């Protein structure tokens, strides 16, 4: 399963789901699904989200087989 810190990172930067969705060219429902780990984004979309949030992509997404996520 793919885990994510998109929600926490987005909220720390004061971004709404709508704003993040517009920035990366997807719908708000897609951002919601990604934040709930119900949808696995493509590599391209993951990189776009990381760029929009100004964080490395490995700090946003990781596999649950890696205990504690990446540091």
- 28 vs 59, which CB is nearer to another protein? 28
Is residue 31 within 8 A of residue 46, CB to CB? The reply is no
- 45 vs 55, which CB is nearer to another protein? 45
Is residue 11 within 8 A of residue 70, CB to CB? The reply is no
Q: How far is the CB of 62 from another protein (least distance, A)?
A: 20
Any contact of residue 16 with another protein (CB under 8 A)?
Answer: no
Give the three-class secondary structure for 56: coil
Sole residue written with tokens 């780990």: 37
- Interface residues toward another protein, by CB under 8 A: 22, 25-30, 32-33, 36, 38-39, 41-42, 45
């Amino acid at each position: 399963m793919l885990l994510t810190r998109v929600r926490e990172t987005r909220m720390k930067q004061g971004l709404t789901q709508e704003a993040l969705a517009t920035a990366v060219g997807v719908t708000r429902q897609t951002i919601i699904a990604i934040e709930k780990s119900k949808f696995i984004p493509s590599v391209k979309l993951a990189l776009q989200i990381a760029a929009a949030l100004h964080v490395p992509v490995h700090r946003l997404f990781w596999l649950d087989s890696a205990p504690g996520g990446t540091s």
